[in-house]
C-alpha cells in the first residue's frame, strides 16, 4: 500500500476502532455496519485533518469505500 493508503487506513482506524487492520482495504459502506451517515461525515473531517485538504460534501455519497476514497485522494494529491 502506498503512503496515501497507509495514512487513509489510519483514518479508518480512528473512525472505526473495531475494524481489524486487514479488513480496512476492502471496507465499504456495505461491509461495515458502523459506516452510517454520521460516520461518513466524521470520516471526511478526519481525512481533512490528516491530509490538510478540504473535502467536498457533494462527494460524500460517492465516497463509500476505502478503495474509492483512496483513488479520490490520490487524484487530489497529484493535482496539489
62 lies in the binding site for another protein (CB under 8 A): no
- Among residues 8, 15, 55, 73, the one that binds another protein under rule CB under 8 A: 15
Distance of closest approach, residue 14 Cβ to another protein, in angstroms? 5
Question: Nearest-CA neighbor of 12 among 3, 23, 38, 77?
Answer: 23
Question: Nearest-CA neighbor of 14 among 47, 59, 62?
Answer: 47
Closer residue to another protein (CB): 48 or 78 = 48
- Among residues 1, 28, 33, 49, the one that binds another protein under rule CB under 8 A: 49
Question: Nearest-CA neighbor of 10 among 58, 51, 41?
Answer: 51
Cα separations in angstroms, 70 against 11, 35, 77? 11, 16, 10
45 lies in the binding site for another protein (CB under 8 A): yes
Tell me the site size for another protein, rule CB under 8 A: 16
Amino acid at each position: 500500500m502506498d503512503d496515501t493508503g497507509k495514512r487513509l487506513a489510519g483514518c479508518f482506524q480512528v473512525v472505526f476502532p473495531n475494524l481489524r487492520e486487514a479488513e480496512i482495504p476492502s471496507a465499504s459502506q456495505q461491509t461495515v455496519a458502523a459506516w452510517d451517515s454520521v460516520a461518513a461525515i466524521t470520516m471526511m473531517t478526519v481525512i481533512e485533518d490528516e491530509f490538510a485538504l478540504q473535502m467536498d460534501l457533494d462527494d460524500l455519497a460517492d465516497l463509500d469505500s476505502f478503495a474509492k476514497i483512496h483513488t479520490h485522494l490520490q487524484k487530489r494529491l497529484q493535482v496539489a
